[in-house]
Structure 1
Amino acid sequence: MKPWILGLTGGIGSGKSAVAQHFIELGVHLVDADHAARWVVEPGQPALAKIVEHFGAEVLQADGQLNRAALRARVFADTTERRWLETLLHPLIRQEITDYLARAESPYTILVSPLLVESGQHELTQRILVVDAPEQLRVQRTMQRDQTTEEQVQAILKAQATREERLRHADDVLTNDRDLNWLRSEVERLHTFYLTLRGGQP
């Protein structure tokens, strides 16, 4: 039987990486949308050639890798350019994710994506788990992890879907405001429940 797909998402600093890691330890096949997004623009991939053709060689580093900061600066300043890039990359990323999910051997498989809701990737899933935490706690965690300022974290928060928007799509919510042991036991509880589901629904 084909594994069903669980979408795993959460705002910055919610702890979704820790949750994802524990699902992997439990033997669940997991695909990371961020990895897929990086892979489709690797040297030798057709998307990178198209990006260079469109934006010019200044979006490349000396070693031929994509200069993400230079590209980001170009597309954030210009909505038309951002749309062009999304139109090119979103279908390729989706294809990469779909191919990878198809290789899963666990009863269910996880697509982890910070932009699950915003990118439309939630359409690939049968069920959504949102890792949630109070905003102040998420800001503190991100500042510690990335050695960054509160202003920078707030800017990222604004670019992501609002907490309400994410929660509206959620089938399950894991509130991560306690310690790691508690988090792991919650993941195990959800895993046990997910193993009983057919196609992601009770």
Structure 2
Amino acid sequence: MLKIGLTGGIGSGKSVVAKLFGLLGVPVYESDQRAKWLIENNLKVKNKIIDLLGKESYFENGKYNKVYVAQQVFGNQEKLNLLNAIVHPSVSEDFKEWCEQKTSPYIIKEAAIMNKNSGLDKIIYVESPTELRIQRILERDKNRTFEQVQNIIKNQKSETEFKEIADFIISNNEEAMLIPQVLDLDRILKSIA
């Protein structure tokens, strides 16, 4: 079974592309959603986050206090790295267990953070113009400001860095048709699986 990474910056449309693959019957592992689940439900992860950032990291009802955590880690690279060192290995282990349950010719792992050495066979990059990405995010996330969105984009891989790790590129601009691109890639991936 091929393990295919699906990545792109915030607002690029990688979630839409992942849904299209899902509609074709391809199992899709959504890293961000699983990370959120693990942060709230995996006791080992919770305890490590509390040890790192304090009990304020969770509300009394056990829900993750993402506003507090964001205040602690953004602007503090060392704490952000330590938090990532808790969450990312847990997601990797969860992904490995998830893969063991699948029998498809290939699976998709959707994640914003991805590298060539992520243990994946191929990587798909969803590209989209920065202005369009910002517009999408502001429409989707009403609580974010233009400056916050720019800061998030600035802290992610550049288009050049994404392209360097990509085996395939899907264009998601206003003119691009996503469905034909996904259908083409599905055919290609099944042929090499």
Give the structure-1-normalised TM-score: 0.87
Within a 5 Å distance, the mapping from 1:41-190 to structure 2 comes to: 41-43=39-41, 45-117=43-115, 123-147=118-142, 148-178=144-174, 182-190=177-185
Q: Which moved more, 1:42-51 or 1:87-96?
A: 42-51
Describe the SS at the equivalent of 2:118.
helix
**Using the alignment, how far apart are the partners of 2:86 and 2:44 within structure 1?**
10
**Using the alignment, how far apart are the partners of 1:44 and 1:6 within structure 2?**
26
* CA deviation after TM superposition for structure 1 residue 154, in Å: 0.8
Q: Which residue of 1 aligns with 2:27?
A: 29
**Using the alignment, how far apart are the partners of 1:192 and 1:45 within structure 2?**
41
Provide the aligned C-alpha RMSD in A.
1.8
Amino acid in structure 1 at the alignment position of 2:19 = Q
Task: Verify the 8 A CA contact 2:124 2:170 in the aligned structure 1.
Answer: yes
Q: 1:54 to 1:150 in 2, by over 3 A?
A: closer
Task: Verify the 8 A CA contact 1:29 1:105 in the aligned structure 2.
Answer: no
Gaps of 5+ in 1: none
Q: Which residue of 2 aligns with 1:10?
A: 8
Q: 1:44 to 1:97 in 2, by over 3 A?
A: closer
Describe the SS at the equivalent of 1:114.
coil
* CA deviation after TM superposition for structure 1 residue 179, in Å: 5.8
* CA deviation after TM superposition for structure 1 residue 43, in Å: 3.9
Equivalent residue pairs, number: 192
Give the structure-2-normalised TM-score: 0.91
Task: Verify the 8 A CA contact 2:40 2:62 in the aligned structure 1.
Answer: no
Q: Percent identity?
A: 31
Task: Verify the 8 A CA contact 2:52 2:83 in the aligned structure 1.
Answer: no
Amino acid in structure 2 at the alignment position of 1:163 = E
* CA deviation after TM superposition for structure 1 residue 92, in Å: 1.3
Gaps of 5+ in 2: none
Deviations 1:62-93 (A, max 9, x none): 21222111112112243332232222222111
Amino acid in structure 2 at the alignment position of 1:142 = I
Describe the SS at the equivalent of 2:123.
strand
4+ runs of 1 displaced by more than 6 Å? none
